[in-house]
Amino acid sequence: MFATSPRLRATVLRVAQSIPVVIGVVIISFLLTRALPGDPAVYFAGVAANTESIEQTRVAMGLDKPLIHQFFVYVGNLLQGDLGQSLTSGRSVATDLAKRLPASLELTLTALILAIVIAVPLGVLAATRPGTWVDHLCRVIVTAGVSLPTFFTGILLIYIFYYLLGIAPSPLGRLDFIYLDPDHVTGFYLIDAALMGDWETWRGAAKQLILPATTLALFTLAPIARMTRAAMLTALSSDFIRTARAAGLSNRTILYRYAFRNALLPVVTTLGMVFSFTLGANVLVEKVFAWPGIGSYAVEALVVSDYAAVQGFVLAMALLFVALNLVIDLLYTAIDPRIGFSSK
Amino acid sequence: MSAMLSVKDLAVSFQTRRGEVGAVKGISFKVSKGEILGIVGESGSGKSVTSYALMRILDAGGVIKAGDATYSGIDLRRSSERDMRDIRGREISMIFQNPRAALNPIRKVGNQIEDVLRHHSRATRYDAKAKAIAALEAVKINDAEARYNAYPFELSGGMCQRIVCAIALACDPRLLIADEPTTGLDITTQKAVMDLVRDLIRERNMSSILITHDLGLAAQYCDRILVMKDGVIVEQGDPVQIFSNPQHSYSRKLVDATPRVGTNVRSLLPPEDRGDELVPVVSDRPLLEIRDLTKTYTGKSGPVHAVKGISFTINQGQCVGLVGESGCGKSTTSEILVRLMDATSGEIIFDGEDIAQVPANGFAKDGRRADIQMVFQDATDSLNPRHTSRQTIAEPLRRLGKMRGAKLTARIEELSTLVGLPLSLLDRFPHQLSGGQKARVGIARAVALEPKFLILDEPTAALDVSIQAVVLNLLVDLRAKLGLSYLFVSHDLHVVRLLCDHVIVMKDGEIVEQGPSQEIMSNPQSNYTKTLLAAAPKPPARRQAN
């Protein structure tokens, strides 16, 4: 894949480019939490605190020091993996995030995979058969997907599959209380359970996951399907498709090897965008399904001005986005041979 | 000679929103074994649609309505799609215009050839690579093994067309359809590609159909020519006969409009439209003096010297032709002269003052902006699609001429009459105008402020030859009427000869030769000019018919 050196160089450069972004993210997440309204010292000192004890807390937390000094302390702690102490949970923020981030990621990734598996073939079919029932179905699903908010589809799905039909388990968290949590390896219950060979737990986790994942998938399906359809239509009307047809290549080769690979580029871009806004949309779905994810954690922390937790959340999300963009760019390099030359 | 392909009463139409539109209206012709047939026509004549119909690769909405097409006993109209897939590429194959777009941009060219070879069972997984390299060598690609791993964007246009040829010829088809194979390629590349295709066809004893808008090109390479107009064949015959004694009025018009040795600009027009040629007044006073002009871009792999110190003079009323192939620096030069780009060094003395001192960014506010105007290459792309002709022509009058109201309207109508644009078309948008009409709008906009100097950047490159004839004559007339000086940028030496008094030949950012156009054309000194002249298609000289 990286046989030619310009592409390898572009890849290395791209990875190097994300380092200043990470530094920027650290600075901004620090400043952002300092800019939040409210005085953390007042909260930390407790309800019964007087001016004196608040001041003591302030000194104890290092908040009396100049901002630049606080920043270096923060970075120093960060380098040791210390994100501070959460006020609400009483645990360290790093522990909380390690527990909750995989929950959100498992939900988001499952939803995204589900959406891709449905939306991409749907878009391809709609593009190859414009004006037929597949095309119309695609349009209906796309319209429904964008117009129905996730909290609504979530509640509707719970109503139908849990309340009316009774086939779904109660929408409370990642695993029913009758199962034990699998050993923590990756934090993804499906993977951890499979690693243990505990298929009973695996099924339990999958059952819990299916409704929230479907809810999110319905929402993310729309842009992916629409972009796939548009990109395929553009690719199929290109000159090189005519060349391939005139050379007698089979429809399958033309469709997949020629049109689809070229259509992938805009689809991958859309996937990156969809992934980021799905992480945002997560909050509502997590609330509806009592999913112990990072979204609900952040909202709770924000409400009580738990600034270490908020700071940790912002940092984690930002790093996730940086990593995501990096992956998307590297995917681009893998798909499009022209990229290695155009990047500086 | 037996007919390899025979087409009888073929009719093709397209379903559009405005109902069914006939593109090909019942044409019949035959292609014999070993014959090269040329189909010549202007845009919209149905020549490309005919070839797509034969291959059954019409775009969505296109349907063969009637007629028969038989290839070696196979009914091309009624064969199953599966049979057609076996025929395409193996029996009949095609090469296209715009070769770079005709190749899959993200697949190695070697793999694209392999796809065809393996699909037609001409190669297995084990020998596909060797056979693909052999196919590349067959189209005379140097270092075929290295090119196998190249992507289309890494190759030149001419090289891409060779790859397209390699794909088309990989499975030894018996009939090759070439659809405008050299449109958009440089003239020397055009000759190289056409010579290669002809040699390969002769070598393998194949038949071929060459579809082109260039009657000269068809005459040079084809055994027989069909002239098509509006979906019907108006005339067919051997090239010399069509050139010397065209029977149909349309083929006569096409022959007339094709620039060639021994014609003048008026003779491009149909006899009834030829007025007296207006004689421009050329003075000895220099209007524009270019001294040691250079332009260097900073590229990724070091500086790129686009223009390497050129000097020339344009006198008042003179028309100077700037000729060269893509990448020779002629577009950079014209952009610098029209003050849209700054030169790296050098002087541009216009009317006695060095305008290179005025930065291109601020030149719009300079008083001399109105004196130097430009007619752009693509008449369609250079017009704002949301502006009517009236708004387009009004723009410079409003901004630079500060004209308003009745005066403005009067001037627009005056200009419109000057360039021969019917007043009724003034309120139309570009997409409602034909190519020639759009060219007139572009010219009217350029001359609106009575400039002294006009840069014409291949103003007829995208036009059909009959329209080109009209536009060239318009430009000649305008020059005489308005006392304009022209810098005419073109790759077509024949056209330059018709219009210009003086020719500059550029190559790799340098002037290789300049002088009076008659002298350059008849007695070129540099080898490059000789190559350019030799590469231009030579239609048979017209014998005077009684």
Query: What is the tens place of the pLDDT at every residue in A76-132?
Result: 888 887 877 777 777 888 888 888 888 888 888 999 999 999 999 999 999 888 888
Query: How far apart, in whole angstroms, are the C-alpha atoms of residue A303 and residue A281?
Result: 18
Average pLDDT, chain B: 88
| Per-residue pLDDT at A314 | 84
Only one residue has tokens 């030169």, namely B343
Q: Which positions 114-173 of B are in contact with A (Cβ < 8 Å)?
A: 115-116, 119-120, 151, 153, 164, 167-168
> d(Cα B129, Cα B103) in Å, to the nearest integer?
18
Radius of gyration of chain B (CA): 25
Contact between B104 and A240 (Cβ < 8 Å): yes
The answer to whether residue A248 neighbours chain B at the CB level (below 8 Å) is yes
CA gap B86, B92 in Å, rounded: 9
Which residue of chain B comes nearest to A343, CA vs CA? B300
Looking up tokens 């139908």, which residue turns up?
A160
SS3 state at B499: helix
Q: B93 to chain A: which residues are within 8 Å by CB?
A: 246-248
Give the list of residues 6+ apart from residue B323 with CB closer than 8 angstroms, or none: B330, B490, B491, B493, B496, B503, B504, B505, B506, B532
A 33-72: CB under 8 A from B: none
| Smallest Cα distance from B405 to chain A, Å | 45
Q: Which range is least confidently modeled, A38-47, B191-200, B348-357?
A: A38-47
Cβ burial of B391 (10 Å; 0-12, 13-18, 19+) is: middle
A258 with B116: Cβ contact below 8 A: no
Distance, CA of B230 to CA of B46 (rounded, Å): 6
Backbone torsions φ then ψ of B493, nearest 5 degrees: -60, -35
pLDDT in tens, A123-178: 999 988 888 888 888 888 888 888 888 888 888 888 888 888 888 788 877 877 77
Where do the domains of chain A lie, and which CATH numbers do they carry?
99-303 (1.10.3720.10)
Q: Which pLDDT score, from 0 to 100, does residue B233 have?
A: 92
Q: Do B106 and A239 touch (CB under 8 A)?
A: no
Cα separation, B34 vs B4, in Å, equals: 9
Chain A residues within 8 A of B59 when measuring between CB atoms:
237
Closest in B59, B88, B106 to A247, CB measured = B88
- Band (A343; pLDDT cuts 50, 70, 90): very low
Mean pLDDT for the stretch of residues B326-346: 89
State both tokens at A94: 């790093």
Nearest CA in chain B to A257: B107
A239 interfacial to chain B (CB closer than 8 Å): yes
Distance CA B513, CA A222 (A): 62
| A contacts of B168 (beta carbons < 8 Å) | 246-247
Higher pLDDT, A342 or B481: B481
Of A237, A242, A250, nearest to B57 by CB-CB distance is: A242
Query: What are the residues facing B39 on neighbouring strands?
Result: B211, B226
Q: Per the CB < 8 Å rule, is B85 touching A249?
A: yes
**Shortest Cα distance, chain B CAs vs residue A220, angstroms:** 28
Q: CA angle, A98 as apex, A191 and A26 as ends, to 5°? A: 130
The residue-averaged pLDDT of B17-36 equals 89
Question: Which residues of chain A neighbour B300 with C-beta distances below 8 Å?
Answer: 344
- To the nearest whole Å, the CA of B468 is away from the closest chain A CA by 27
Q: Which candidate in A128, A236, A239, A343 is best for mutational testing of the B interface (most B CBs within 10 A)? A: A239
Distance from CA of A5 to the nearest CA of B (A): 14
CA B15 to chain centre: 29
Chain centroid offset of residue A171 CA: 21
Percentage of chain B exceeding pLDDT 90: 36
CA distance A236 to A123: 13
Residue B527: is its pLDDT beyond 60? yes
- Alpha-carbon distance B92 to B4, whole Å? 11
Supply B413's token pair: 């109508």
Exposed, middle or buried: residue A52 (CB in 10 Å: 0-12, 13-18, 19+)? Answer: exposed
| Phi and psi at residue A337, to the nearest 5° | -65, -15
CA-to-CA dists, residue A104 to A100, A159, A194, A213, angstroms: 7, 23, 19, 10
Distant-in-sequence, close-in-space partners of B529: CB < 8 Å, separation ≥ 6: B505, B512, B513, B520
Q: What angle do CA A15, A18, A19 make, to 5 degrees?
A: 105
Q: A92 forms bridges with which residues in the sheet?
A: A85
pTM beyond 0.90: no
* DSSP classification of residue A257: I
DSSP per-residue codes, B531-545: HHHHHS--PPPPPPP
- Residue B425 has what DSSP assignment? G
Contact A262 B115 (CB under 8 A): no
- Rounded Cα–Cα distance for residues A122 and A218 (Å): 13
Which of B60, B93, B115 shows the shortest C-beta gap to A246?
A: B93
Judge whether residue A342 has pLDDT over 70.
no
Question: Which residue from B57, B60, B115 is facing A253, i.e. has the nearest CB?
Answer: B115
The kind and range of the H/E element at B487 are: strand B485-490
Residue of A nearest to B52 (CA): A246
Of the pLDDT bands very low, low, confident and very high (cuts 50, 70, 90), residue A279 is confident
| Mutation to test the A interface, candidates B49, B58, B76, B104, most A Cβ within 10 Å | B104
Chain B residues close to A237, C-beta within 8 Å? 59
Interface of A with B in 90-149 (CB under 8 A): 130
Residues in chain A closer than 8 A to B167 (CB atoms): 243, 247
Mean pLDDT, rounded, for B476-500: 89
**Mutation site for B-interface testing, chosen from A7, A238, A249 by largest number of B Cβ within 10 Å:** A249
Distances (CA, A) of B339 to A140, B303, B410, B445: 53, 22, 29, 17
Cα gap B166→B95, rounded to integer Å: 9
Higher pLDDT pick, A177 / B417: B417
**pLDDT in the model for residue B319:** 92
Contact criterion met (CB < 8 Å) for A243 and B102: yes
What pLDDT is stored for residue B243 in this prediction?
85
Residue B546 has pLDDT above 50, yes or no: no
- What burial class does residue A10 get, using C-beta atoms within 10 Å of its C-beta: 0-12 exposed, 13-18 middle, 19+ buried? buried
What is residue A10's predicted lDDT score, i.e. its pLDDT?
72
pLDDT of A325 above 90: no
Tokens coding B330: 């002629």
**Contact status of A337 with chain B (Cβ, < 8 Å):** yes
Q: Is B69 on the interface with A (CB under 8 A)?
A: no
Angle at B90 between CA B87 and CA B95, to 5 degrees: 100
Q: Which of A132, A135, A240 to mutate to test the interface with B (most CBs of B within 10 A)?
A: A240
B492 with B325: CB under 8 angstroms? no
Give the model confidence (pLDDT) of B71-115 as tens digits.
988 898 888 988 998 899 889 999 988 888 899 988 999 999 999
Distance CA B344, CA B307 (A): 9
Within 284-313 of B, beta carbons closer than 8 Å to A belong to 300
- Asked if A321 and A21 touch (Cβ cutoff 8 Å), the reply is no
pLDDT of residue B541: 62
Q: Please, where are the H alpha helices in B306-449?
A: 330-337, 389-399, 405-418, 435-447
Contact B104 A246 (CB under 8 A): no
Which pLDDT score is estimated for B542?
55
Nearest to A247 among B84, B93, B106 (CB): B93
Q: Which residue type sits at A80?
A: Q
**How many angstroms away from the CA of A254 is the closest CA of chain B?**
10
